[in-house]
């Protein structure tokens, strides 16, 4: 046994000597030979380790993926430029679309629309301007057959002649309630004659017109406003006059007041009880105005789309006043010289609301990738 152990020990010693000689033999010929071999072995081990470990986390710029969206359909998100699969518009970078001023109107967003898109949807604009605004209020009226007022005038004149102060005061108050003014009552007392045209127009050469004024329009109506009257049978023939008085009581059945106007009718065309079309001209003075087509009425708010810069449209809430046939009076929300959208504004408004809802949500998801 000892003999075999000695032989094994000798073999191991010899192998160790041979290895040492192989590594360090002839150092002058290639002093780096052994070192390079070890380096190559080490590099091989590194290459093998690279396949076994997960890749390094990319830098922030490499991790963030550039997205493109459709200006008209913000739900579309793609990683490469192209066309919107819904409308065919060119996609633009998400940052370019979203890097816009915040809207002052809750639920709406400022939007960007390219010239090509504006042309396709038919965008038209107008400038906010100051101008003299004249509102033409249309209502209906009748040729008066006011027996009550006729009788009350007779009672008043009778009380004046009898010098019955109590009756004078009572009939005077009744005349006021029926729509006569203090100046008209004074003139009636001076003339001493009842106006027969209140009851019968035939042979008088004139007629009284009673025009309906809705209570919501009462603040606009005042005495002396010009009035034009047309008949259904002959709309080309017009009668003109001015408002002489307005009744102080509202009719509870139709929520209207009555404006009384005396017009000249030498031919006797206007007959008691006849229905008429009535137009009242109401000057609103110089005001900021915009076309009616620029306003989108949501029920609670009036919204216009304002072009802030070329291609940038901002929703704006405005307060409106009176109106003419084509224009609206602006009380607040716009400045003179600003540009508002008058055509295709419904599409821009819808897009603004979509983007407003999209930007206020928790985030979006990508489609069509």
Same domain (yes/no): 89, 128:
no
Residue 263 lies in a domain: no
Other Cβ atoms within 10 Å of 46 Cβ, number = 8
Across the chain, what does the average pLDDT equal?
77
Same domain, 94 and 116: no
Q: Is residue 119 part of a domain?
A: yes
Whether residue 336 sits in one domain with residue 295: yes
pLDDT band at 258 (very low <50, low <70, confident <90, very high): very high
Is 225 within the bounds of a domain? no
234 in any annotated domain:
no
Compute the distance between CA of residue 209 and CA of residue 265 in angstroms, rounded to an integer.
11
Q: Which of 36-40, 67-71, 293-297, 357-361 shows the highest mean pLDDT?
A: 293-297
**Over 90: is that where the pLDDT of 197 sits?**
no
Domain hosting 77: range is 59-99
Residue 107 lies in a domain: yes
Range in 105-119, 147-161, 304-318 the model is least confident about: 105-119
**Cα(23)–Cα(14) distance, integer angstroms:** 15
Residue 160 pLDDT > 60:
yes
List the single range of 75-89, 92-106, 223-237, 238-252 with lowest mean pLDDT. Answer: 92-106
- Asked if residue 177 and residue 165 are part of one domain, the reply reads yes
User: pLDDT tens, 1-11?
Assistant: 444 444 444 44
Question: How would DSSP label each residue in 226-278?
Answer: EEEEEESS-TTSEEEEEEEEE-SS-BTTTTEEEEEEEEE-TT----TT-EEEE
Residue 35 lies in a domain: no
Domain endpoint, select from 73, 99, 125? 99
Return the higher-pLDDT residue of 194 and 3: 194
The CATH number that applies at residue 128 is 2.40.420.20
Give the separation between CA 298 and CA 282, rounded to whole angstroms: 27
Indicate whether 128 and 177 sit together in one domain.
no
| Residue 122 shares a structural domain with residue 151 | no
pLDDT band at residue 368 using 50, 70 and 90 as cut-offs: very low
pLDDT of residue 144: 83
Percent of the chain with pLDDT over 70: 74
pLDDT grade, residue 168 (50/70/90)?
very high
Asked whether residue 294 falls in the same domain as residue 353, the answer is yes
Check whether residue 318 and residue 334 sit in a common domain. yes
Q: Within a domain: residue 11?
A: no
Cβ atoms within 10 Å of 314's Cβ, excluding its own: 22
Q: State how far the Cα of 22 lies from the Cα of 34, in Å rounded to an integer.
A: 9
Q: Do 353 and 289 belong together in one domain? A: yes
The verdict on residue 303 lying in a domain is yes
Could you read off the pLDDT of 73-108 as tens digits, one per residue? 767 878 888 998 988 888 877 765 556 767 778 778
Residues 332 and 346 in one domain: yes
Instruction: Give pLDDT tens digits for 321-362.
Output: 888 888 999 999 999 999 999 988 777 777 677 666 655 543
- Looking at the structure of the chain, the number of domains it has is 3
Whether pLDDT at 154 is above 80:
yes
* Other Cβ atoms closer than 10 A to 250: 15
Q: Are residues 289 and 353 in the same domain?
A: yes
- Please tell me whether residues 324 and 295 are part of one structural domain: yes
pTM over cut 0.85: no
More reliable by pLDDT, 38 or 118 = 118
Structure-token pair, residue 338: 């600003």
Q: Of 302, 311, 296, 304, which Cα lies nearest the Cα of 340?
A: 304
Domain boundary among 175, 199, 223: 199
């Amino acid at each position: 046994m000892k003999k075999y152990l000695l032989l094994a020990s000798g073999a191991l010693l010899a192998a160790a000597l041979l290895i040492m000689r192989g590594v360090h033999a002839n150092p002058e010929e290639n002093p780096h030979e052994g070192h390079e071999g070890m380096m190559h072995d080490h590099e091989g081990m590194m290459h093998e380790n690279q396949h076994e470990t997960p890749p390094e986390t990319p830098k922030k710029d490499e991790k963030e993926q550039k997205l493109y969206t459709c200006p008209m359909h913000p739900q579309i998100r793609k990683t490469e430029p192209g066309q919107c699969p819904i409308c065919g518009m060119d996609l633009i970078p998400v940052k370019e679309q979203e890097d816009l001023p915040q809207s002052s109107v809750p639920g709406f967003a400022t939007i960007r629309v390219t010239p090509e898109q504006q042309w396709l949807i038919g965008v038209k604009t107008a400038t906010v301007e100051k101008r003299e605004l004249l509102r033409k209020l249309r209502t209906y009226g009748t040729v008066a057959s006011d027996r009550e007022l006729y009788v009350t005038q007779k009672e008043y004149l009778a009380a004046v002649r009898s010098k019955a102060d109590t009756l004078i005061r009572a009939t005077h108050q009744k005349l006021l309630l029926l729509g006569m003014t203090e100046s008209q009552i004074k003139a009636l007392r001076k003339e001493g004659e009842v106006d027969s045209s209140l009851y019968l127009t035939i042979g008088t050469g004139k007629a009284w017109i009673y025009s309906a004024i809705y209570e919501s329009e009462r603040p606009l109506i005042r005495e002396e406003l010009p009035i034009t009257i047309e008949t259904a049978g002959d709309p080309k023939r017009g009668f003109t006059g001015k408002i002489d008085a307005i009744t102080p009581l509202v009719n509870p059945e139709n929520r209207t007041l009555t404006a009384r106007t005396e017009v000249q009718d030498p031919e006797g065309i206007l007959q008691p009880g006849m229905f008429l079309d009535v137009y009242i001209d109401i000057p609103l003075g110089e005001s900021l105005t915009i076309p009616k087509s620029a306003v989108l009425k949501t029920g609670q708010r009036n919204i216009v789309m304002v072009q802030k810069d070329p291609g940038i449209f901002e929703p704006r809430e405005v307060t409106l006043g009176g109106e003419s046939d084509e224009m609206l009076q602006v009380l607040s929300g716009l400045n003179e010289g600003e540009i508002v959208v008058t055509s295709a504004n419904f599409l821009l408004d819808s897009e603004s609301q979509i983007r407003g809802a999209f930007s206020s949500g928790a985030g979006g998801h990508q489609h069509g990738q």
